[in-house]
Amino acid sequence: MRRFLRSAAAICVLVLVVSTGISANDGLSMEIVGDQVVATKAFVVRIRNNGSKRQTFCLSLCGAIIDMDTTRSAPAFAVQMRVGKKWNDRPWGCGAGNQFASRVIQAGEIQDFRIKLAEPGTYRLRLAYKDVSADLVSSHCEAIEDTKSLKHATSEEFEVMAKPQ
């Protein structure tokens, strides 16, 4: 009987988690804000730390993804475009001598960034991040090669519409 009750309780918890949308991933999540994304128009990407630990990710200080109407930097997203059934990485970086800076996001914090994409299509964004255990995070972007400690947040896919004529 106890085994049955424990199983029933586990199922109830699972149903509660699924029905409330609580993620088993306690790291970063991303969402595209707004109903419609138009090519060459800035839109907002919201990054949320769902966990209880500080996280860090890299900001790109140049590149075509940044909203050039402002002087803000943007996360160093991997921009992927759907081509057929596959996701292809889209280049947007600075080229030689890329400039990056680390950014910390505290537990429960939300940060918004404005970016734009020039080409219509179906996209998703990926962002590498990792736990921050020390106060010094300035070397995070230089140590990005350490793939064992990296996690990735991936946005839902979204459509970028052609700019109206």
What was the pLDDT predicted at 16? 34
**Considering the domain boundaries, does residue 136 fall inside one?**
yes
**Considering the domain boundaries, does residue 98 fall inside one?**
yes
Across the chain, what does the average pLDDT equal?
Answer: 76
Report pLDDT digits (tens) over 36-88: 899 988 899 999 999 998 888 888 876 656 655 655 678 888 899 999 999 99
CA distances for 32 relative to 4, 45, 115, angstroms: 42, 5, 10
**Considering the domain boundaries, does residue 106 fall inside one?**
yes
Query: Which CATH number covers residue 119?
Result: 2.60.40.10
β pairing state of 158-161 and 28-33: unpaired
DSSP, residue by residue, 48-60: EE-SSS-EEEEEE
Q: Which helix (H) or strand (E) holds 20?
A: helix 2-20
**Considering the domain boundaries, does residue 5 fall inside one?**
no
**pLDDT, greater one: 70 or 129:** 129
What was the pLDDT predicted at 18? 36
Domains in the chain, number: 1
Q: Which helix (H) or strand (E) holds 113?
A: strand 110-115
**Considering the domain boundaries, does residue 1 fall inside one?**
no
Tell me the residue range of the domain where 128 lies.
24-161
| Phi and psi based region of residue 84 (left: phi greater than 0; alpha: psi -120 to 50; beta: remaining) | left
**Considering the domain boundaries, does residue 3 fall inside one?**
no
**Considering the domain boundaries, does residue 29 fall inside one?**
yes
